[in-house]
Structure 1
Amino acid sequence: MVAAVRTVLGDIPPADLGVCDAHDHLFLRTPALPGQELADPASAAERLRAFRASGGRSVIQWTPYGMGREVEALVELSRATGAHVVAATGLHQAVHYPAALLDRIRDGLADLFVTELTRGIGSTTVQAGLIKVAGAFHTVDAHARLTMTAAAGAHHRTGAPIAVHLELGTAALDVLDLLCGELGVPPRHVILGHLGRSPDGAVQREAARAGAFLAFDGPSRAHHATDWRLPDELAALAEAGFAGQLLLGGDTTVPETPGMPHLLRRLHPRLEETLGADTVSALLTANPARAFAFGAPAGTAGDTA
């Protein structure tokens, strides 16, 4: 199987991703954030153009099933701006969905994810390029186990990468025990999000030693208290030999989030001072090219991701 990243306009060679925002949201809607929806195509286009003007090339949108992905708008934005955009399937925490919806889909989650990865999202032919799931605060609860089991099943059938929301940056090792230990997902196909929100260097190093990708995604208003630690956290991990597993993202969740333009305009030069230009370049280009490439499905020869 030839490695590829699956964008909303089709598969591309991983090297074509270029400078990549590894975790963001152009569109997002949830009852957990009433009145703070990301639902305006004009605003999404403005943010994406600002990101492109700062040198950005690709955005990985982690908005999963049932949270206002607006895949047709993603296609139009990608065409209009020249940015590569990757859409997600998967399921977030239960709080983001009506109970009736979860009851309706829970027994067919793996099939749903596979369909969206291989045939199209909803009534479109736009295919998802990753599976987004979520842990709970310091644990893997019953809902997380359900969604992660489905995600692992879909990964084994498609080779799709799995991106994990860690609630307040916690439970990274429990997630890896489940996904990679019990469910057999190769760690190189797992992206752990929000590790900077619980800046525990020992946990970060252990997750990196396991082989997963570590996404440091912010800044955001809610987690500003830990954002300032980012350069030192990344430097410590790079010095420990894990520079090749680190990813950066803006994670725009509400309209006031600094998000993707801030990632390159302000954060990028600050990180260069600490890490050096070559390392930061790898975090934004070479690392996401590996992290978001599909691997060979289980039962096929080889895995080029």
Structure 2
Amino acid sequence: MNQGVETVTGAITADELGKTLIHEHFLFGYPGYSGDLTLGGMNTKEALETAETIALSLRSFGVETVVDPTPNECGRNPEFLKEVSDRTGLQIVCATGYYYEGEGATPYFKFRQQLGTAEDEIYEMFMTELTEGIGETGVKAGVIKVASSKDHITSYEEMFFRAAAKAQKETGAVILTHTQEGTMGPEQAELLISEGASPEKIVVGHMCGNTDPAYHRRVLERGVYIGFDRFGLQGIAGARPDAEKIETLSVLLKEGYGNQILLSHDTVNIWLGRPPEIPEPIAVQLRNWHPVHLFENILPKLNDRGFSEEELEDLFTKNPQQLFFQKQQADIR
């Protein structure tokens, strides 16, 4: 059994995990932002103040831990996250991993894929960042992030999935995925499990991009967790309206799948590079895309549907604790 989950300030125990959001980004930038520093550089002081305000707002709703699965090439910054954690007491788990090919792939590993060395190197990267630390920061990654494209998993993406499964077998680390527009959930689960990953250590993310309960059952029946983790995000990136997410989530909860579901928003709180200019019609739809939307607006609607405070609290407390601290299949065998 895992003895602790790594946060940016060190390992914590099951009792210390507390109420957890499984998928939020303090910082995020699409690859290429670093070339726009002349006009898109980050004011670190202002960014830290913004992040501190957000973290304290989360804590006011009882949130104790946030998983920030920002991919390595999208602006992951363990030292920034550590500063936020030190200032606020919010426990933050950062990731090791890469984004899906269409929006995250860098030529670096694609070049090395042509040389035939990439998959072994990705595995080595995962293992080092999980067990020794990220660069010179002294911060260890606490989860592995992998991602796939809409309607298919490319050969480039498969390398990361295979390397993640291999690293998970050795470390027990949680694998957290990105499904583009909620597609390829069953295929992601099948690929990871076929490569030896433990299903109870997998979160198939952004599944709320699909509103067909039968599709969700296909994934849940593999024993993995799923993320309804884009509340507030609607009108762009294939995200479904919150009302549809609530309806689908309600069906699954009534069917008894509540112990395999995790909630979050997938917010980007500070954009690296120049902030995007959002057209007004979309901005209106995104007005509730912030890290406390669940607590202010979504949970009351679920209460109105007959779900108890205790049932809903388990989605933020009991489920993350089981995810990070239950034994792997390999341990049981």
Q: Compute the TM-score of the two structures, normalised by the length of structure 2.
A: 0.83
The question of whether the paired residues in 1 share the 8 Å contact of 2:165 and 2:196 is answered with yes
Residue 6 of structure 2 is matched in structure 1 by 6
Residue 266 in structure 1 maps to residue 266 in structure 2: no
The question of whether the paired residues in 2 share the 8 Å contact of 1:196 and 1:226 is answered with no
Residue 288 in structure 1 maps to residue 300 in structure 2: no
Residue 188 of structure 1 is matched in structure 2 by 200
Moved more, 149-158 or 38-47: 38-47
Residue 63 of structure 1 is matched in structure 2 by 70
Residues 120-174 of structure 1: per-residue CA shift (max 9 Å, x gap): 1111110000000001112221122111011111111111010010010011111
Which of the residues 79, 89, 94 maps onto 1:72? Answer: 79
Residue 168 of structure 1 is matched in structure 2 by 181
What secondary structure does 2:296 align onto? helix
| Greater radius of gyration (CA) | 2
What secondary structure does 1:20 align onto? strand
CA distance in 1, matches of 2:57, 2:222: 36
CA distance in 1, matches of 2:84, 2:68: 13
CA distance in 1, matches of 2:74, 2:263: 23
Counterpart mapping for 1:1-305 below 5 A: 1-31=1-31, 40-94=47-101, 95-100=103-108, 102-104=110-112, 106-107=118-119, 108-180=121-193, 182-218=194-230, 219-221=232-234, 222=236, 225-253=240-268, 258-274=289-305, 275-293=307-325, 301-302=331-332
Displacement after TM superposition at 1:220 (Å): 1.1
The question of whether the paired residues in 2 share the 8 Å contact of 1:24 and 1:259 is answered with no
Structure 2 unmatched ranges of 5 or more: 271-282
Moved more, 24-33 or 214-223: 24-33
CA distance in 2, matches of 1:206, 1:192: 12
Moved more, 262-271 or 124-133: 262-271
Distance 1:284 1:53, change over 3 A: same
What secondary structure does 1:210 align onto? coil
CA distance in 2, matches of 1:29, 1:198: 25
The question of whether the paired residues in 1 share the 8 Å contact of 2:182 and 2:207 is answered with yes
CA distance in 2, matches of 1:192, 1:37: 31
Distance 1:106 1:43, change over 3 A: farther
Moved more, 263-272 or 156-165: 263-272
Residues 85-120 of structure 1: per-residue CA shift (max 9 Å, x gap): 100001111232431354358240001011110111
Displacement after TM superposition at 1:188 (Å): 0.6
What secondary structure does 2:73 align onto? coil
Number of aligned residue pairs: 300
The letter for the 1-side match of 2:303 is E
Residues 46-98 of structure 1: per-residue CA shift (max 9 Å, x gap): 21111112221110101121221111111111121111110000111123243
Displacement after TM superposition at 1:302 (Å): 4.2
The question of whether the paired residues in 2 share the 8 Å contact of 1:161 and 1:293 is answered with no
CA distance in 1, matches of 2:43, 2:206: 20
CA distance in 2, matches of 1:188, 1:41: 35
CA distance in 2, matches of 1:79, 1:254: 18
CA distance in 2, matches of 1:2, 1:135: 27
CA distance in 2, matches of 1:276, 1:102: 48
CA distance in 2, matches of 1:23, 1:60: 5
Q: Compute the TM-score of the two structures, normalised by the length of structure 1.
A: 0.90
Moved more, 187-196 or 29-38: 29-38
What percent of counterpart residues are identical?
A: 30
The question of whether the paired residues in 1 share the 8 Å contact of 2:198 and 2:328 is answered with no
The question of whether the paired residues in 1 share the 8 Å contact of 2:28 and 2:74 is answered with yes
Displacement after TM superposition at 1:32 (Å): 7.5
CA distance in 2, matches of 1:241, 1:38: 46
